């Protein structure tokens, strides 16, 4: 390959292993100097930065394309389960498998994701955990190897204790039938087992879906968001963080949906409790009042837990997002038939980076905020908890990058959505910016290459 200026990355419509890439680089701290710089790769890692031009197998990017650290999404729902093949009981690969998940994530500018354990097999023992990690990351008889590496949460169920040393744990509270807690008090009792007070040397990472059982309104005739009021989320966050304060584990609040929850996280941070939180693109972009108008879809397709909140709640959350540690997607692929019948969760992976960049265009965050919430902070979490080297543009870190063009409009039809479920709530949306593609461990995937991979 020549190192001449490629006017359009999309002309490269096959995955392309690179020796390096040259362009305008923003690393989350500063733009690197001189204006264009070369990053060289070796064995899927960043080897060095230099000013060389004209090297073989170094892609020289157009001047309007920006190189950022690869996006990381610590909250996605994959559908592959170890030892379960298509058509067998418990199989959900008709709506996603790890390969289609990886394509969808790359489409949204993500280069690493963490999968949730609400699966038909419980991921509790080291054996389950290792089998699942192997399964979701490798080629199988019925599908190809995912193009991006995937991590996995281990599951907390009522009365459980941590059985895996180096795992991050997920508590689903009352949102996953097989591990639902009988009441909110039992949640706290189980969390005691995950604290340092129960004898572990390390402060364990626990992510919780925070909605109390006591605050649910059991009335199928009222709208979904009224069945699961905001107070359920607010009260659950307090129970969770109080448990973290008493038992000493790291408490990460999943998909924050109101500023009141952010305030509680801030309050406990100021008390010295180890805590953090995440937000989703849908909580910043759509609410139950505007959903039908802006998506053109029935509101039942926007059902999720915690539910979409009001217009006022959403605007307040947009203004408070800088107190939120990380950006995730809560990508939950279901077929349109399933969403029509009222299942919770929406596909989000394919449009994740584009929607968060919209926050930048609207002036709600800076590019630095975007890179920290999307790459650097989740990367440092993965480094501390799992020993992975991702999300930073530094020698020795994974050579994974997100390539964007600010101010270049983009959009997706459902037919272009790479999640197998094949739809997005944002088909009507014109994004203000473009994710040109990603580099994953030194291999470039342009948007056109990703489209071609789907059909292979």
Interface residues with Zn ion (CB under 5 A) are 330
Report the run of H or E that residue 129 belongs to, with start and end: helix 126-137
Shortest distance, CB of residue 280 to Zn ion, whole angstroms?
Answer: 9
Q: Under 8 Å CB-to-CB from 30, ≥6 apart: which residues?
A: none
**Segment (H or E) for 17:** strand 16-17
For 94-109, give one letter per residue: b (16+ CB within 10 A) or e: ebbbbbbbbbbbbbbb
The owner of tokens 């692929």 is: 333
Phi and psi (nearest 5°) for 127? -60, -45
- Name which of 41 and 301 has its Cβ closer to Zn ion: 301
CB of 330 or CB of 398, closer to Zn ion: 330
Please say which residue, 6 or 344, places its beta carbon nearer to Zn ion: 344
Which of 128, 140, 96 shows the shortest CA–CA distance to 334? 96
Residue with nearest beta carbon to Zn ion: 330
Q: Among 210, 407, 263, 419, which residue's Cα sits nearest to residue 335?
A: 419
Rounded to the nearest whole angstrom, what is the least distance from the CB of residue 111 to Zn ion in the complex? Answer: 20
Q: How far is the CB of 5 from Zn ion (least distance, A)?
A: 42
**Pairing between strand 66-69 and 71-76?**
unpaired
Q: In whole angstroms, how close is the CB of 145 to Zn ion at the nearest point?
A: 25
On whether the CB atoms of residues 115 and 77 are closer than 8 A, the answer is yes
The residue (of 330 and 358) whose beta carbon lies closer to Zn ion is: 330
Smallest distance, Zn ion to C-beta of residue 170, A = 9
- The two tokens of residue 34 are 């001189």
- Cβ distance to Zn ion smaller for residue 37 or 75: 75
d(CA 113, CA 122): 19
Identify which of residues 330 and 441 has a Cβ nearer to Zn ion in the complex. 330
> 285 or 434: whose CB is closer to Zn ion?
285
Angle at 319 between CA 279 and CA 73, to 5 degrees: 20
Least Å distance between CB 169 and Zn ion? 14
Shortest Å distance, C-beta 254 to Zn ion: 6
Of 116 and 417, nearer to Zn ion (C-beta) is: 116
Burial of residue 152 (CB within 10 Å: 0-12, 13-18, 19+) is: buried
Compute the least distance from the CB of residue 56 to Zn ion, in Å: 44
């Amino acid at each position: 390959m020549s190192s001449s200026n490629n006017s359009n990355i999309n002309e490269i419509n096959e995955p392309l292993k690179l020796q390096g890439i040259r362009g305008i680089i923003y690393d989350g701290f500063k733009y690197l100097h001189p204006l264009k710089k070369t990053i060289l790769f070796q064995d899927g890692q960043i080897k060095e930065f230099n000013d060389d031009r004209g090297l073989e197998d170094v892609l020289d990017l157009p001047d309007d394309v920006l190189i950022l650290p690869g996006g990381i999404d610590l909250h996605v729902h994959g559908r592959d389960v170890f030892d379960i093949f298509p058509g067998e009981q418990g199989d959900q690969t008709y709506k996603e498998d790890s390969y289609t998940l990886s394509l969808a994530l790359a489409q949204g500018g993500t280069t690493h994701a963490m999968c949730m354990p609400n699966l038909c097999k419980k991921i509790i023992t080291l054996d389950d955990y290792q089998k699942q990690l192997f399964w979701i990351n490798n080629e199988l008889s019925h599908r190809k190897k995912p193009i991006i590496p995937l991590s996995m949460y281990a599951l907390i169920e009522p009365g459980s204790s941590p059985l895996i040393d180096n795992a991050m744990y997920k508590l689903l509270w009352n949102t996953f039938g097989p591990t639902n807690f009988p009441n909110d008090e039992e949640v706290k009792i189980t969390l005691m087992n995950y604290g340092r007070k129960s004898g572990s040397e390390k402060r364990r990472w626990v992510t919780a879906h925070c909605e109390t059982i006591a605050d649910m309104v059991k009335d199928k005739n009222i709208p979904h968001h009224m069945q699961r009021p905001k107070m359920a989320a607010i009260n659950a966050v307090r129970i969770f963080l109080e448990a973290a304060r008493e038992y000493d584990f790291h408490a990460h609040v999943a998909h924050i949906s109101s500023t009141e929850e952010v305030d509680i996280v801030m309050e406990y941070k100021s008390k010295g409790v180890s805590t953090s939180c995440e937000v989703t693109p849908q909580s910043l972009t759509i609410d139950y009042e505007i959903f039908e108008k802006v998506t053109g879809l029935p509101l039942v397709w926007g059902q999720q837990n915690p539910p979409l909140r009001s217009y006022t709640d959403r605007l307040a959350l947009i203004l408070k997002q800088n107190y939120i540690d990380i950006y995730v997607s809560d990508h939950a692929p279901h077929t349109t038939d399933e969403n029509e019948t009222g299942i919770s969760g929406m596909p989000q992976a394919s449009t994740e980076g584009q929607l968060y960049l919209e926050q930048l265009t609207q002036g709600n965050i800076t590019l630095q905020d975007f890179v920290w919430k999307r790459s650097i902070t989740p990367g440092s979490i993965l480094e501390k908890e799992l020993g992975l080297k991702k999300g930073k543009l530094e020698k020795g870190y994974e050579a994974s990058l997100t390539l964007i063009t600010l101010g270049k409009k983009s959009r997706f039809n459902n037919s272009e959505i790479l999640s197998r479920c094949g739809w997005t709530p944002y088909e009507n949306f014109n994004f203000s910016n473009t994710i040109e593609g990603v580099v994953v461990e030194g291999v470039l995937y342009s948007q056109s290459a990703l489209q071609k991979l789907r059909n292979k």
